[in-house]
Structure 1
Amino acid sequence: MTRAELFSQIQQKSSFLCVGLDADLAKIPTHLKSEADPIYSFCKEIIEETADYAVAYKPNIAFFEALGPKGWETLQKVLEFIPKDIFTIADAKRGDIGNTSKLYAKAFFEQMNFDSVTVAPYMGADSVTPFLEFENKWVILLALTSNAGSMDFQLIKDENGKPLYQSVLEKSQEWGSPENLMYVVGATRGELIGEVRKLVPDNFFLVPGVGAQGGSLAEVAKYGMNSSCGLLVNSSRGIIYASSERDFAKVARSEAKKLQVEMTSLLEQYL
């Protein structure tokens, strides 16, 4: 998917919502567990009810990998069920030496046909650039995450007082462009999103942490939105596990709609 196509979806739906498919067999509604493929049934209903409001879906690959070979088959079925005009993210956090990264890229982009994959930058250019060689495919690079351990490394300052995450942002600009490179920027960082935006004014951000993790959608838009929106805000647990009853998908739709309504207002305010 191109940047223009993604922005067109945002405009059409008045939304920049990404729904995270963290499909945990232990958490899905009990009545689904007798299905032949419970995780697929769960994701299918979530997608059916939220596709009007979502511009992206983000399957968390670990939840599928943990199920073994059947999990990979389920992931492929889920991916094929997502409407073709909706952006897809393989939340896999890959990143290895160059020839291995190239094979990871082929797996997610050629074999499975995801639009994007999350990538860890720690090993540098040769671990990231193989993913950037595929036309109309995206790298979503970990930059400033919202997990508790992020401060172990990301905020360490060099001799000039520059935090490591800023070095990652600056160096990675040499590898890709706003047409194929996004960044993960956690919602719980508040004003730090603004610092990231100053360094990379044109790139899209994938922003986790809104909803169950307590991030503010209004703050994310205030500090992070640019002239083409530039944001994909992810909500996982707050949508997909809003109910554990038979109405789980309808409740998920309601939660997605709440976010979309707020997003519509923010798009009108900033664009």
Structure 2
Amino acid sequence: MRAREQKREISAAKGGMMLVVKQYRCTHSSTCICMKGHLSEDAIFLVFQHLNWNPRLIAAMSCVCKWFDEVAKRVLWKEFCRTRAPKMMLDLQSSGSHSVDGNWKALGKLLIYCSGCSKGGLFNTIHIPGHFVYRTRFSRTSGKSFLIPQCRTDVLYVSDPCEHLDQGEEGDVGFFRGVFKSFSFSRVRKMLIDRQAKFHPTEVCPYCKAKLWSMLQANMIPRSASCRLGAYDDCIEYYVCLNGHMLGISTLLPLSDSEEVSELE
């Protein structure tokens, strides 16, 4: 059985040191059912393991109280990510870290949620609501196509585009998302800082709420990205947040044109 992870704080007291277990208090009223006691983390782990780490149920449980939310962030979302994308998670943690940049909840959301866009937001030309997707393939090989040559030693996983067809004058639109491995040590981050790239003044990452750099403004979008997506060269844009989450949009070529691009590659 999985050993219970406990957070402890050391508090100084007269006459010596005393171990104090960190308490998680319910943020609901005194009549909330949560006040009657919690299941152990071991029991919660086994229940959600039986449920195959259902993300909707994890999200629902997180809303019950602060204690459940902490367990979900620390344990359940981590196991969901490991189950949904085991090879990808193994690679992201191969540097020896027990966590990932940002947090497990943010990464779990990135795996299954297309952020869409709204007028006046990051991609302000059209309004397409964000939505959950059943399954998306993330590729490390595809990620290389989104990096300029100086940065191709970085590891970036990028999803297949989530296609939204017939968007009026915008045509066929594709949203894509991704995540860097060890972004704080990446060449992309260093180059963004060296180029004094500016953060977006109002918008933040929809997955972790961190500030966003525009790769378009930093002139760091290679032509290979549009080839990989089957998109027009001048109609692709993406952002990277401080935690290494990437989200972008492209205007997709008609199917016949996409086939021609593939042949050229």
TM above 0.5, yes or no, is no
Query: Bigger radius of gyration, 1 or 2?
Result: 2
Which structure has greater strand proportion? 2
Larger relative contact order, structure 1 or 2 (CA cutoff 8 Å, min sep 6): 1
Between Structure 1 and Structure 2, which shows a larger proportion of helix residues? 1
TM-score range, shorter chain: under 0.3
Q: TM (normalized to structure 1)? A: 0.24
- The TM-score with structure 2 as length reference comes to 0.25
